[in-house]
Structure formats: C-alpha cells, structure tokens
Amino acid sequence: MLSILAAGSIFFPGLFLLSKRILKHGPGLKWSEKDAVIVSSRLVSSVQAIMASSAGYIIACSCKDIIEDQHWLTSSYILFAVPYFIYDIYAMFLCHWYKLQVKDHEEDSEAKPMRSAISGYLRREFLMVLHHVVMVTVCFPVSVFWRQGKGDYFQGVMFLAELSTPSVCLGKILIQYKQQHTLLHKVNGALMLVTFFICRVVLFPYLYYAYGRYASIPFYMVPLSVPWQYNAGAALLMAPQVYWFSLICRGAFRLFTRASRHKAAVSSTDSEPKTSLLPSANGYSPREADSH
C-alpha cells in the first residue's frame, strides 16, 4: 500500500516538473514560466484522466458479478491516484498565482501578497478544492476500507467519469490563449458537453439502474432499497457535477449566441453598398481621386 502511494506521490509531481522543464528549455520552445506551468498542469490532469478511464474500463469489463467480483486494479489505482488530488490543489494554486502576477503587471499595480493570493484562490476555486479534499479524506477510505472488496464494478464505472477531463483541460488552454474563435475550440466544446453529461451526470442514475437490474427491482425502488449512506454519497458527488455542467452549458450558449451575432453582423455588412467611405488598404481613396 505504501509503495503504491509513494509511486503516485513521485509520478504526478515528477511529470509536472518534467513537462515544465521541457516546455521552458526544450529546443525551439523556450516557453515562459507562466505558460509552462499552466500547460503542464493541464497535461498532468489529462494523463491522470486517461489512466483512470483505462483502469475503469478494464475493471468494469472484468466484473461479471457487479457486487461480488473483484479486480486488483481497483484498490491499486485508488491508492496511486490519491496523491494526484493533493498535488493538483497545489498545481491549481500555481496557475492562479501566475495569472495573478500577469494581471497585476498589465494593470501596473503592486503584486498581491501571498496571503491575499491564497484567499483569492480559495474563494475562486472553493468547490474544486473542496472536491479534492473530500476525495482524499472521505472517498479514499470509503473505497479502500469501508467497501470491504464489494462493488468493484461500480468503482470502475466511477473511474470512467474522468473521460471528460482531457476536453475540459484543452478547453481551458484554448480560452487562456484566446482561441475561442477557432474550429478546434468549437469541436472540443461539443465533445466536452457530451462527455461531461454522459460521464459525470448520467453516470449516477446509471449506477442505480445497474443495481436495480442486478437485484431485479424497479429503478425507482433502488434508492429505497440501499442504505441511506449510498444515497447521501451519490447526492453529494453528483451535486457539483450538475453545477459544473450548468456552467459548461452556459458557456456553450454564450459561444453560440456570440457566433450568431457575429454572423449576422457580417451578413449586414456584406449587404451594404460597396462604395465605402473608408480608405483602401493602401490609404488612397477613390473619392479623393474624383476630387482632383
């Protein structure tokens, strides 16, 4: 157990430092510290998500009996991934810190003290930090010790929630570098919307459906047939996912309406007479030629 925890404690911060070093010092790269930190943190999150999703797929496919069957990868990956959530709290703060420094520089204001930066970070990322803390302090002991080897299938399906993370990370990078107008951003946004909804929102009703089919009881009777702790845990885990999905939908709506307004503005411009009073690209106006 300790060796797996140690491996995760080395792997995720090590991958972050290696990625940052390559981006800063690699041939032809020479990225700034801020850019290297932000992109490296997203890269590590994406790698963790791919690993978790792969483990979840293997576990879910291997467990024929969704309650009794066990797979060694379940507890092993949970132990390996616990250090990631601790590391990611620090990595998110680093991203916030460098963004804050750039903002202060652009506004020509004094740099914020560390205490102010930490309090601002906790206010801005409170839900995400709380999510990570709960994963370490509650979900980890429950998944490894309290389950007593039962329900590895459900744990594997829960790992599949990470399938949406790479598109979320890519979307944040594209927004950070003001690439919202690109086709890549639009395609990635659609993919993020679909994967987040399926893997993080529909996931929880599916768990109830799967247990209902296993126990041969109607779907609506499942919440009444399982211990209240399961219902409370599912509700607490699902609530932030629904909130984040609403934010994604809001962002997608703004992007769609902005694109529609831009298209309408372009159409109205194209329908106007071509004899514009604006000077040509070389600065020579046809109207000026007529006056000579």
- C-alpha span between 173 and 69 (Å, rounded): 40
Average pLDDT for residues 115-143, to the nearest whole number? Answer: 91
- C-alpha span between 59 and 159 (Å, rounded): 9
- C-alpha span between 289 and 267 (Å, rounded): 29
The reported pLDDT for the residue numbered 59 is 96
Q: What is the pTM of this model?
A: 0.83
- C-alpha span between 260 and 154 (Å, rounded): 42
Residue with tokens 């159409």: 267
- C-alpha span between 245 and 168 (Å, rounded): 11
* pLDDT band of 283, cuts 50, 70, 90: very low
pLDDT at 43 over 60: yes
- C-alpha span between 13 and 150 (Å, rounded): 31
CB 100 within 8 A of CB 120: yes
- C-alpha span between 254 and 108 (Å, rounded): 31
pLDDT by residue (tens digit) across 74-128?
999 999 999 999 999 999 999 999 888 866 555 555 666 788 889 999 999 999 9
* pLDDT band of 279, cuts 50, 70, 90: very low
CB 85 within 8 A of CB 140: no
Q: Count CB atoms within 10 A of the CB of residue 40.
A: 24
The reported pLDDT for the residue numbered 251 is 82
The reported pLDDT for the residue numbered 286 is 41
Average pLDDT for residues 223-233, to the nearest whole number? Answer: 92
* pLDDT band of 255, cuts 50, 70, 90: confident
* pLDDT band of 252, cuts 50, 70, 90: confident
pLDDT at 211 over 90: yes
DSSP-derived letter for residue 274 is S
Average pLDDT for residues 199-227, to the nearest whole number? Answer: 94
pLDDT at 274 over 50: no
Which is it for the CA torsion 12, 18, 19, 21, positive or negative? positive
- C-alpha span between 233 and 29 (Å, rounded): 45
pLDDT by residue (tens digit) across 159-197?
999 999 999 999 989 988 888 888 998 899 899 999 999
Task: Determine whether 287 is exposed, middle or buried from the number of CB atoms within 10 Å of its CB (0-12, 13-18, 19+).
Answer: exposed
pLDDT at 275 over 80: no
* pLDDT band of 269, cuts 50, 70, 90: low
Q: Where are the beta strands (DSSP E) in 178-270?
A: none
Average pLDDT for residues 273-279, to the nearest whole number? Answer: 42
Identity (one letter) of the amino acid at 42?
Answer: R
